[in-house]
Amino acid sequence: MNKKWESYKIDESKISEISKKHGISEMLARILLNRNIPDNKIESFLHPKIEDLFDPFLFNDMDLAVERIIKAIKEKDKITVFGDYDVDGITSSMLLIKFLREQEADVDYYLPNRLMEGYGLNNEAIDKINEKGTKLLITVDCGISGANEVEYAKTLGMDVIITDHHECPEVIPNCIAVIDAKRSDTKYPFSGLAGCGVSFKVIQALSQKMNLEKDTYLKYLDIVALGTIADIVPLVEENRIIVKYGLERMKNTENLGLKALINTSSIKSLDSAAISFGLAPRINACGRMGKAELALNMLLTNDIKEAMNIANMLQEMNRERQEIERVIMTEAVEQIEKEKLNDSKIIVVGKEGWHHGVIGIVSSKITESYYKPSILVCFDGDEAKGSGRSIDGFDLHSALTGCQDYLTKFGGHEMAIGLTLERKNFEAFREAIKEYAKDKLPEETIPSIKYDAEITAKDVSKEVIEELKVLEPYGEANPAPLFAYRNTKVDSIRTLSNDKHLKLNVKDEHRIFSAIAFNMGILKNSIRMGDKYDILCAVELNNFNGIEMVQLNVKDFKKSV
């Protein structure tokens, strides 16, 4: 699919000024402007310090939460941590459970089953928690939309503390404390924390109130970094501090479960990409299969054998998830092509027997392949459950709101949704949302890629690459720099990994560069040696057999004009 290449729109006159003021190259100054880093925050962005973590007591209700938790610790009240089944929810749960157990609190936990219960608080779970004698219920990575469930828990005699990072409804739960930086009355200076980041701020506040050593909470930064990267929150400000120092701690992690997971994942270097594509999918896999407690137990255990056993189980579950995903993807594409469902502006496809925990990933891939919003629905008897993903400029949650007469329930946000409906309403819903999308999307949607600068051979050097490393860790709101390199001649080309990837040599009038194009093996026959191409690429150092060389990591090709 053709992609539109777009450069960032910045004030070019500021590049030289920033370069001189901060003692950095003009290339680095340009990228910082592209990332919208204000001049007064450049130093803290380039050189984040652990001392710059915000005071946790700036959170509304943090003092109330800390007071109630300390009371529960002293009086041996049973505490139950209610989490979520994804990486953020699991790491959020682990942080609070492990910390409280170290303070000799009586702590239990509850993770809802993704396939049976879905996300967030529910009364049946609260009943089970109550039967165990819970006096204090603390939510992590959820709860902000559970006002009714909180009221139910209170009728059973439980105190409730909500810790969350999601958008707040107009009415927030009425309980002991609601800790969420997205509250309308928030005083906290950063709203981008993941759920595990909020959980971390709670244990930071508890440590300070209890006069504990700083390492009592800082030692968990590796786990906080794992959840933060996995939840795709913006890696700026406080998240940048958490992830930068968390990745450093991860290299020598004391957490046996995390260590086992790293070992079974065969990760070469621990960076944000390794977390996103190596560790996070393995943890998410067990949640998608309805067994999230496995990953939580792995992170909680002090037994290396148990940790390795669970890590191997997660590895196997991830393989199983990948196979299920592959089958659903194949069947979905066959149905889309056969029924010409991609002729519509939104793709809605359904089938009996698809795995509800996996269809969201497949929907993401369908949307990426066709660059159209998509909803995948799995039928189970008279009921149907679906997941959807969108593209920039189309609010999928609003689309469902416009078609809610056909739905039993739905939730999510602009880019990702979940829904439930009666099977008999599927075709009517599909037609309704197709009609809704007609006026909301242009006739042809073209994905765009933003690049940071035009480069030539002189810009591609070890020195440039080394300087740009100060921008790491990369992630949401701080992507790895991309460059447009024009008029490069393809000198050689071959495929790797059973025709999955392309390996090329490209040259201009001055130099030859080695280049890799992952998942582009299908393009081999359409790229001709000797022809000139513009390439969109990252520049990196590749170490092979002890020899370090500059490599271009190609993201897109265009025939040079």
| Other beta carbons within 10 Å of 87 | 29
Beta strands in 41-135 (DSSP E): 78-82, 106-110
What are the structure tokens assigned to 405, written together? 């007469």
**C-alpha–C-alpha distance, residues 377 and 336, integer Å:** 13
What would the DSSP string read from start to end of 325-349? HHHHHHHHHHHHHHTTGGGSSSEEE
Cβ neighbours of 232 (radius 10 Å):
14
Tracing tokens 């921008």 back to the chain, one arrives at 471
Q: What is the pLDDT of residue 475?
A: 93
Q: What is the pTM of this model?
A: 0.90
pLDDT, the chain, mean: 93
For helices 292-300 and 280-288, angle between their N-to-C axes, nearest 10 degrees: 130
Identify whether residues 293 and 416 lie together within a single domain.
no
Q: In angstroms, rounded to a whole number, what is the distance separating the alpha carbons of residues 338 and 345?
A: 17
Whether the pLDDT of residue 456 is over 60: the answer is: yes
Of 357, 352, 361, nearest in space to 329 by CA: 361
Residue 1 has pLDDT above 70, yes or no: no
Whether 233 is in a domain gets the answer yes
Same domain, 165 and 123: yes
Residue 323 inside a domain? The answer is no
Q: Is 8 within the bounds of a domain?
A: no
Residues linked to residue 494 through DSSP beta bridges, in sequence order: 503
| Whether the predicted pLDDT of 127 surpasses 80 | yes
Give the C-alpha separation, 255 to 436, whole Å.
49
Do 304 and 423 have their domain in common?
no
Across the range 221-246, mean pLDDT stands at 96
Domain harbouring 268, CATH code: 3.90.1640.30
Instruction: Give per-residue pLDDT as tens, 507-559.
Output: 887 789 999 999 898 888 888 889 999 999 999 988 777 788 889 999 998 99
pLDDT of residue 548: 83
* Tens-place pLDDT, residues 359-402: 999 999 999 989 999 999 999 999 999 999 999 889 998 999 99
- Spatial distance between the Cα atoms of 422 and 228, rounded to a whole number of angstroms: 36
Residue 435 has what pLDDT?
94
Report percent pLDDT > 70 for the chain: 100
Q: What SS3 class is residue 160?
A: strand
∠ CA 109-281-503, rounded to 5°: 165
Question: Would residue 123 count as lying in a domain?
Answer: yes
Same domain, 175 and 287: yes
Greatest alpha-carbon pair distance for the chain in Å reads 77
Report the C-alpha gap between 435 and 438 in whole angstroms.
5
Query: Which SS3 state, helix, strand or coil, does residue 444 take?
Result: coil
* One domain, residues 168 and 63: yes
Give Cα separations from 198 to 70, 83, 165, 238, 339 (angstroms).
18, 13, 7, 11, 46
374 and 292, same domain (yes or no): no
Q: Rounded distance, CA 281 to CA 360, Å?
A: 13
As a whole-number percent, the residues of the chain with pLDDT over 90 amount to: 80
State pLDDT tens for residues 419-455.
999 999 999 999 999 999 998 887 777 888 999 999 9
Write down which residue in 296, 313, 330 finishes a domain. 313
Residue-wise pLDDT tens digits, 472-507: 999 999 999 999 999 999 999 999 988 889 999 998
Asked whether residue 29 is assigned to any structural domain, the reply reads no
Q: What is the pLDDT of residue 535?
A: 94
Residue 39 lies in a domain: no
| Together in a domain, 492 and 532 | yes
pLDDT tens, position by position, 165-208: 988 888 999 999 999 999 999 999 999 999 999 999 999 999 99
- The CATH number for 472's domain is 2.40.50.460
CA 277 to chain CA mean position, Å: 10
Q: Are residues 291 and 369 in the same domain?
A: no
Structure confidence at residue 169 (pLDDT): 84
pLDDT at 298: 97
Using DSSP's 3-state secondary structure scheme, residue 495 falls into: strand
In a domain, 31, yes or no: no
Domain's final residue, options 389, 414, 438: 438
DSSP symbols for 286-319? HHHTT-HHHHHHHHH---HHHHHHHHHHHHHHHH
SS3 542: strand
Predicted local distance difference test score (pLDDT) of residue 364: 93
Q: Is the peptide bond before 169 cis (omega within 30 degrees of 0)?
A: no
Averaged pLDDT, 146-156: 96
| Contact present, 328 and 359 (Cβ < 8 Å) | yes
Domain of 249? 55-313
Looking at the DSSP bridge assignments, the partners of residue 7 are 451
Which letter, b or e, does each residue of 309-338 get, where b requires 16 or more Cβ atoms within 10 Å of its Cβ? ebbebbbebbeebeebbeebbeebbeebee
Parallel, antiparallel or unpaired: strands 532-544 and 547-559: antiparallel
Q: In this structure, are 366 and 219 located in the same domain? A: no
Number of domains in the chain: 3
Q: Are residues 166 and 248 in the same domain?
A: yes
Residue 356 shares a structural domain with residue 432: yes
The answer to whether residue 115 scores a pLDDT higher than 60 is yes
What integer is the mean pLDDT of 232-257?
96
Q: Retrieve residue 236's tokens.
A: 């700026």
Whether 45 is in a domain gets the answer: no
Domain shared by 285 and 143, yes or no: yes
